[in-house]
Amino acid sequence: MANSKRMLKGAEIVWECLVREGVETVFGYPGGAILPVYDALANYSDRIHHVLVRHEQGAAHMADGYSRASGKVGVAMATSGPGAVNLITGMATAMMDSSPMVCITGQVPTNVLGSDAFQETDITGATLPVTKHSYLVMEVDSLANVIREAFYIARTGRPGPVLIDIPKDVQNDVTEFEYPTDPIDLPGYHPPEKATDEEVAAVLELINGADRPLVLSGHGVLMSGARDALIAIIEKADIPVTTTLLGNDSLPHSHPLNLGMMGMHGNASANHAIQGADLIIACGMRFDDRVTGKLKTYSPNSRKIHIDIDASELNKNVRVDVAINADLATVLAQIKPGVKQRKRAEWLKTIQAWQEDATQRDVLQLESETLLGAQVIRSICENIPDDALIVTDVGQHQMLEAQYYSHEQPHTLITSGGLGTMGFGFPAAIGASFHRADREIWAIVGDGGFQMTLQELGTAVQEQANVKIAIINNGYLGMVRQWQQMFYNAHYAETPISSPDYMKLAEAYGVPGYRVDRREDIEPTLKGARRHKGPVLIEFVVEQHEMVYPMVPAGADLHKMIRRPHPEETSV
């Protein structure tokens, strides 16, 4: 695109810069303080598609979902005050899960800043803890550079959200605009690239000398493009792998070295392997409390390697022997030639025994009169293509998806991990649909979380988003109810929750609706839903007191899991 000087308003500069950054879709909601930007949109609507959400929180989650599906920077837009603060939950979600996003908010004019003017909020101050950086643009001449920096910060290093707050007078001010092309160099911000020779040597010594090594594969494996390199290393050295929730699709589920998810609701064999390993190789993950259990007893007999792009995560929760602050894909490429080919049959035989025990305890082995959430998840998995994208909300259905949906391809799962944001799933699925309109996308949500953002059905219908909604309806805030049953004497305080008639809701929005409460009806309903292009709603009425096992109680040792009884332990 030719670069020539023109006289432009700040509002026009916003769209000019978004076009230059390759933005094709913006999710937003207009209001008084950002009206100049929306007024200027008409001149750019042939290049940028604006999606009108029904609530600003939906805009942030859609931008996040778009970002995770496409690998690009998602963009959300809102007005000042309530509009801006409604983005905060979405920014915090993106921050915890390393999702690149830029949020642009309108602000009251500079001459009334700090006066508690109508719809004024110090949004830069409010978002400092939940963004990589926050900008308040006080002069139109700095606007273009700020936008360029924001995108650079959002997408480099450990990705994350950036806020740009633009007062209304700055949007209206006119200046001579020429798109800046100088290289961006921010003092103090230089994301690392590779490991030192000494670090590579230390890693190889530990890997080649270990008898019971284990890889912990996190979201960073996907974000850095390190999946193929990781697979090459584990196959060469016969090293089993367990994944985090966000890394659940970082390795094919069918791979013989994949032990599945670790942690609070992870596979028992994965947790036992962590506790029995003599070497832990943590790749692009952050040792969250849901992964480690009690820190004092976490993998007590292992040496530990941690590779992460974010220096603040190293030695934060778990002390390690070798900590490498660098791009994961680059580090794995550095160490791969030096990894010795080796078979670890005894270690894998031990793990196989744990796996066989877990299989015998699997809920899918049991006969049930009522429909189970696990059955629904497995049926969805068996009836849709490998490249379909699953977007979940937060709760029991999320953990059941992690356990019973087999992700064979990368980038086929989007979920809220670190923040655990109920209401995330459906709008994030809508956002993801704008990356590839032909892709099959399923939003698997609970009846509680769906009701937090179900108003975005209006957005899905207006945009004809190709999203299939599977509501796992158990009439409870299921995960909270599970905790109440286990640890609060089954005192179900404020966890039973009613729902609207979802069939009438679907009819009101003009989308096909199905209700399923029998196992034999799952497959034909899925086939019918898949034939329809555009949004479809399916309500699966499931067992109200279904439990998600295993479960590591908060603060307990990782291996001290509450398990579903083994068949031999069940009295007749």
Instruction: Give the residue extent of every domain in the chain.
Output: 6-177, 197-358, 363-541
d(CA 118, CA 17): 29
Neighbours of 147 (CB within 10 A): 25
162-196 burial, b for 16+ CB within 10 Å, e for fewer?
A: bbbbbbbbbbebebebebeeeeeeeeeeeebeebe
- C-beta of residue 449 within 8 angstroms of C-beta of residue 425: yes
Residue 14: which of 154, 56, 4, 35 has the closest Cα?
A: 35
Q: For residue 369, what pLDDT is reported?
A: 83
Q: In 3-state terms, what secondary structure has residue 546?
A: coil
Phi, psi of 222 (to 5 degrees): -75, -45
What's the pLDDT band for 368 if we cut at 50, 70, 90? confident
d(CA 261, CA 243): 5
d(CA 272, CA 379): 28
Using one digit for the tens of pLDDT, what is the confidence trace for 540-567?
Answer: 999 999 999 999 999 999 999 999 887 6
What's the pLDDT band for 98 if we cut at 50, 70, 90? very high
d(CA 315, CA 538): 45
Neighbours of 223 (CB within 10 A): 25
DSSP label of 428: H
Whether 371 shows a pLDDT value over 50: the answer reads: yes
Using one digit for the tens of pLDDT, what is the confidence trace for 479-515?
Answer: 999 999 999 999 999 999 999 999 999 999 999 999 9
Q: In 3-state terms, what secondary structure has residue 216?
A: strand
Q: For residue 572, what pLDDT is reported?
A: 30
Neighbours of 504 (CB within 10 A): 10
d(CA 507, CA 515): 13
Q: For residue 567, what pLDDT is reported?
A: 67
Is the peptide bond prior to 550 cis by the omega test (within 30 degrees of 0)? yes
Using one digit for the tens of pLDDT, what is the confidence trace for 335-352?
Answer: 999 999 999 999 999 999
d(CA 158, CA 155): 8
Using one digit for the tens of pLDDT, what is the confidence trace for 166-200?
Answer: 999 999 999 999 999 999 999 999 999 999 999 99
Q: For residue 569, what pLDDT is reported?
A: 63
Q: In 3-state terms, what secondary structure has residue 28?
A: strand
What's the pLDDT band for 367 if we cut at 50, 70, 90? confident
- C-beta of residue 174 within 8 angstroms of C-beta of residue 153: no
- C-beta of residue 503 within 8 angstroms of C-beta of residue 525: no
Q: What is the mean pLDDT of residues 299-314?
A: 97
Q: What's at 90, amino acid-wise?
A: G
DSSP label of 186: B
Q: For residue 366, what pLDDT is reported?
A: 75
Measure Cα distances from 54 to 63, 431, 452 in Å: 14, 13, 12
Instruction: List Cβ neighbours of 338 (8 Å cut-off, separation of 6 or more).
Output: 200, 204, 208
- pLDDT above 70 covers a percentage of the chain that reads 98
Q: Please report the DSSP string for 81-121 in residue order.
A: THHHHTTHHHHHHHHHTT--EEEEEEE--GGGTTTT-TT--
Using one digit for the tens of pLDDT, what is the confidence trace for 205-229?
Answer: 999 999 999 999 999 999 999 999 9
Superfamily of domain 363-541: Thiamin diphosphate (ThDP)-binding fold, Pyr/PP domains (3.40.50.970)
Q: What's at 84, amino acid-wise?
A: A
What does the chain come to in residues?
572
Q: What is the CATH number of domain 197-358?
A: 3.40.50.1220
Catalytic residue numbers? 56, 118-119, 168, 479
Q: For residue 571, what pLDDT is reported?
A: 38
Pairing verdict, β 161-167 and 174-177: unpaired
What's the pLDDT band for 155 if we cut at 50, 70, 90? very high
Please give the mean pLDDT across all residues of the chain: 96
Q: For residue 364, what pLDDT is reported?
A: 84
Q: What is the CATH number of domain 6-177?
A: 3.40.50.970
Identical topology for domains 197-358 and 363-541: yes
